[in-house]
Amino acid sequence: MTPKHVTWRSVLRRWKTITAMTLAGLAGGLLHLFLVGPTYAATAQILVSPVPEQPGLEGTSVLVSSSDMARTLQTAVGLIDTRAAAARTGQRLGGSWRPDSVDKHTRVELTGQSNIIAVEGTGTNAREAAALANTFARSALDARNDEVKKLAATRLGYLRLSLRTTPDPSADMQSEASALSMMEQKGDPSLTLAQEAQIPPRPTGLPPAASVGVATALGLVLGLALAFLRSLRDPRIVDRREIAELPWPTLAALSTRGLAPPHDGMDGRQFRVVSTLLSQVPHGLGAILVTNATAGDGRSFVAHGLAKAEVDAGNSVLLLGCDHSIASDHWEPEPLVRDPSLAVAVGAGVVGRGVAPAWLALHGPNGKLAEVPEVSPGTMAQNSCLNVPRRELPMVMQEARRKATRVIVDTGPLAEAELALAVVPHVDQVVVVLHQGHTRRDDVQTLRELLSGMGQHAVGVIVLTDEAPRSGSDRYPDASS
């Protein structure tokens, strides 16, 4: 199917695909909600305050003021987000918390252009998220302070030894000793806890109902996209506009909605308009061949419907089957007597008010052609021409025309029925049956080429559709409308 023939109708015909994807989205949203649950986030803040550069800070890793503040702040983030902080947090929280799980549920980053480091903790519980953020922030600062205290104590020990051996220590040495003594007692002066994390009042992201709705909507969109792609690649004729572009006019479009195969409930009135149209074209409705492009399109249903319409009009009808599927599924080889006063179902359709007293035997014993008996007006007889040799088909058709007012040949796709090809030159009209949503376009092209090669042209197309008729009408709106 070309993109111009992909319509909403052709896409929505794949409602099973759309429904399945929508339900999958709904199920995914509910499953995520059940397994993951809501996520809460809480944030603690650490203030970065680089100290002025002074003697004694070398080797303590304390953040010192510099012209490149951005680099200093990034260094501060690295000092907070450490494996030691995660390990200490896991120990303090206890339970199932481990360094890896702490790393998974925490995030350390700068807050905009400020000198604030945000420590975010996430969890399925609001209190848990706040406890994680606060514990990590304190653990990071404690780990940092312990490291600075240790470095300051080591350096201060060397400095005090120098002070004792120096008769007149300088002011710088005194100032350095004072700064190191302060760091030995309190730790890193450049990093402090600015604000603890508060218990979040609501989870992050969308509310549960909204998240399920988004997942469902996403499934619907994916379903529509998949249905569109499948429609684009569909080899079948689905769109009415594509039917209207066929080289043959549409005689009628009939709905089979509500009818189970073999469509025994179809009223013959639906075919009377078609029968009238066929009788008005050149050559009239003497001998007509009903065929289809793709097997299973409902050809026998149409052939029986046309035969019923002619029987109801008082004509004598001889219905010939030239398809192996007919011989095996619908046509009985044994003589079968029916009560002419009853409306009976034979083969694939209702055959009318009366049926010939017995099935015809077009091919008699020893391979000789048997005589075609007369068919009374208002009745219908059926038989299969599968056993008739090709050389005798012209005589069979000539005899059939003489004994019945209407001869309807029911044959499968011409590309698959060799015997049917021999019948084509001996009929007045060819009617093609197309089942919307079932007939393949490449089969239609093959049929068109076969008919063209034999000098025949289909008089029209009868479209069968599974859609319901509109406005209570027996006829479905014409496919070309």
Confidence of residue 7 (pLDDT cuts 50, 70, 90): low
What is the radius of gyration, based on Cα positions, of the chain? 45
227-262 pLDDT, tens digit each: 888 777 777 777 777 788 888 888 888 877 655 444
Per-residue pLDDT, averaged over 50-54, amounts to 81
From 78, 129, 75, 79, select the one nearest 106 (Cα to Cα): 129
pLDDT for residue 171: 76
**Does the structure show a pLDDT above 60 at 26?**
yes
Least confident of 139-153, 358-372, 435-449: 358-372
**Which one has a higher pLDDT value, 379 or 182?**
182
With tokens 């060819």, the residue in question is 430
Token pair of 219 as six digits? 């499934």
Q: In angstroms, what CA-CA distances link 44 with 47, 102, 203, 272, 351?
A: 10, 15, 17, 84, 86
pLDDT for residue 93: 92
For the ranges 81-85, 264-268, 312-316, 345-349, the maximum mean pLDDT occurs at 81-85
Confidence of residue 43 (pLDDT cuts 50, 70, 90): very high
Domain positions in the chain: 40-195, 240-476
79-115 pLDDT, tens digit each: 999 999 999 999 999 988 999 999 999 999 999 888 9
Confidence of residue 55 (pLDDT cuts 50, 70, 90): low
CA dist 308 and 317 (Å) reads 9
pLDDT for residue 324: 54
**Does the structure show a pLDDT above 50 at 62?**
yes
**Does the structure show a pLDDT above 50 at 313?**
yes
Confidence of residue 384 (pLDDT cuts 50, 70, 90): low
Residue 36's CB: how many other CB atoms inside 10 A?
Answer: 10
How high does pLDDT run on average in the chain? 76
**Does the structure show a pLDDT above 80 at 129?**
yes
472: left (phi over 0), alpha (psi -120 to 50) or beta: left
* Backbone φ and ψ of 469, nearest 5°: -65, 155
Confidence of residue 61 (pLDDT cuts 50, 70, 90): confident
Q: Do the Cβ atoms of 441 and 201 come closer than 8 Å?
A: no
Give percent of the chain above pLDDT 90.
23
CATH number of 240-476: 3.40.50.300
Per-residue pLDDT, averaged over 292-309, amounts to 83
Token pair of 480 as six digits? 């070309």
Least confident of 180-184, 269-273, 334-338: 334-338
**Which one has a higher pLDDT value, 45 or 242?**
45
**Does the structure show a pLDDT above 80 at 46?**
yes
Give percent of the chain above pLDDT 70.
76
pLDDT for residue 474: 40
404-421 pLDDT, tens digit each: 888 888 888 887 777 778
Cis before 262? omega within 30: yes
329-379 pLDDT, tens digit each: 333 333 322 333 222 223 323 333 333 322 333 333 333 334 455 555 655
pLDDT for residue 349: 31
pLDDT for residue 460: 87
For the ranges 183-187, 220-224, 264-268, the maximum mean pLDDT occurs at 220-224
Q: Do the Cβ atoms of 205 and 122 come closer than 8 Å?
A: no
pLDDT for residue 323: 65
CA dist 447 and 289 (Å) reads 13
**Does the structure show a pLDDT above 80 at 72?**
yes
Q: In angstroms, what CA-CA distances link 159 with 156, 185, 188?
A: 5, 16, 19
Token pair of 341 as six digits? 């006063």
